[in-house]
């Protein structure tokens, strides 16, 4: 499913968070959203998925829903947002329980999502018993179990250590290769953006505007290969040049000023 953002602006009271943002996400692609901190990335993501009402502008979709889709706009959260009183299985099943599936089909869907995320043997564990990486895998399983049309990820890996991040990136790539879910991926981490995205949308500092949209030419499957390391590093430093000055200014701004 395509997602079209048209002239979206957003204000929190007096504070202008987004200004006339327009962009289109194409079905099947992964779009990374980067920009200095506080530039409105999370705000934009919330507006895109219908969790936040924009002050101005509109968000539209076009194209068919994927087969078996239960929740078209689905989020994966930075802080995982798991219910601590539910087991891994229960957390994933939460997303299905109000859809009136039979108990059998629900259990089947949950089991296959858990298997896909390498969680099968943790089905009955509580979140507190899991490592950060495993917790986010539960968040990912909960998202894919509803077969989303659009997947919104708000810094999904930034609460994790570098090694876990590396492993989870591979998991995400494998899942995208299988499901081809259209995804919007907010990150601070340029390396993540360059590894995971088909296109990278750079936002300016607050109020956030689209500064540039950069395509990543190297096919996703080949990005781990040594021959592309140089091209990707160059892309990364180009992105850094784009946001460096903005980030420096944003860093000196008072919060909520």
Ligand X SMILES: Nc1ncnc2c1ncn2[C@@H]1O[C@H](COP(=O)(O)OP(=O)(O)OP(=O)(O)O)[C@@H](O)[C@H]1O
Stretch that binds another protein, among 19-27, 95-103, 162-170, 221-229 (CB under 8 A): 95-103
- Separation CA 135–CA 152 (nearest Å): 17
- DSSP string of 98-150? GGT--HHHHHHHHHHHHHHTT-GGGTT--GGGS-HHHHHHHHHHHHHTT--SE
Quote the least distance from Cβ 143 to another protein, whole Å. 9
> How many whole angstroms from its chain centre is CA 223?
19
Residue tagged 């160059």 (tokens): 234
Q: Which residue, 91 or 208, has its beta carbon nearer to ligand X?
A: 208
Quote the least distance from Cβ 63 to another protein, whole Å. 20
Site for Mg ion in 40-69 (CB under 5 A): 42
Binding mask 37-66 for another protein (x = CB under 8 A): ------------x-x---------------
Residues 143 and 111: beta-carbon distance below 8 Å:
no
- Separation CA 144–CA 142 (nearest Å): 6
- Separation CA 196–CA 215 (nearest Å): 12
Q: Using CB distances below 5 to 8 A depending on partner kind, what does residue 73 bind out of Mg ion, another protein, ligand X, none?
A: another protein
Q: Which residue, 226 or 254, has its beta carbon nearer to Mg ion?
A: 254
Quote the least distance from Cβ 240 to another protein, whole Å. 30
Which residues 6+ apart lie within 8 Å of 234 measured at CB? none
Quote the least distance from Cβ 84 to another protein, whole Å. 6
Site for another protein in 135-164 (CB under 8 A): 142, 146
Structural Rg of the chain based on CA atoms:
18
Residues at the site binding another protein, with contacts judged by CB under 8 A:
49, 51, 71, 73-75, 77, 79, 81, 83-86, 94-95, 97-98, 126-128, 142, 146
């Amino acid at each position: 499913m395509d997602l079209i953002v048209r002239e979206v602006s957003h204000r929190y009271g007096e504070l202008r968070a987004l200004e006339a943002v327009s962009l289109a996400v194409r079905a099947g692609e992964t779009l990374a959203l980067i920009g200095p901190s506080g530039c409105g990335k999370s705000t934009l993501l919330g507006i895109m998925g219908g969790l936040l009402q924009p002050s101005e502008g509109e968000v539209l979709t076009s194209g068919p829903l994927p087969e078996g889709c239960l929740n078209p706009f689905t989020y994966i959260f930075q802080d995982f947002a798991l219910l601590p009183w539910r087991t891994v299985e229960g957390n994933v099943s939460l997303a299905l329980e109000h859809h009136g599936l039979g108990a059998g089909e629900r259990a089947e869907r949950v089991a296959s999502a858990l298997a896909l995320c390498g969680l099968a043997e943790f089905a009955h564990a509580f979140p507190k018993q899991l490592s950060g990486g495993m917790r986010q895998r539960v968040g990912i399983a909960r998202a894919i179990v509803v077969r989303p049309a659009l997947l919104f990820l708000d810094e999904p890996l930034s609460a994790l250590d570098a090694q876990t991040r590396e492993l989870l990136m591979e998991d995400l790539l494998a899942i995208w290769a299988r499901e081809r879910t259209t995804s919007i991926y907010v990150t601070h981490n340029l390396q993540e953006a360059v590894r995971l995205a088909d296109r990278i949308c750079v936002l300016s500092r607050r109020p956030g505007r689209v500064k540039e949209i950069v395509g990543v030419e190297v096919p996703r499957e080949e990005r781990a290969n040594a021959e592309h390391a140089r091209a990707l590093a160059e892309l990364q430093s180009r992105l850094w040049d784009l946001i460096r000055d903005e980030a420096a200014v944003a860093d000196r701004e008072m919060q909520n000023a």
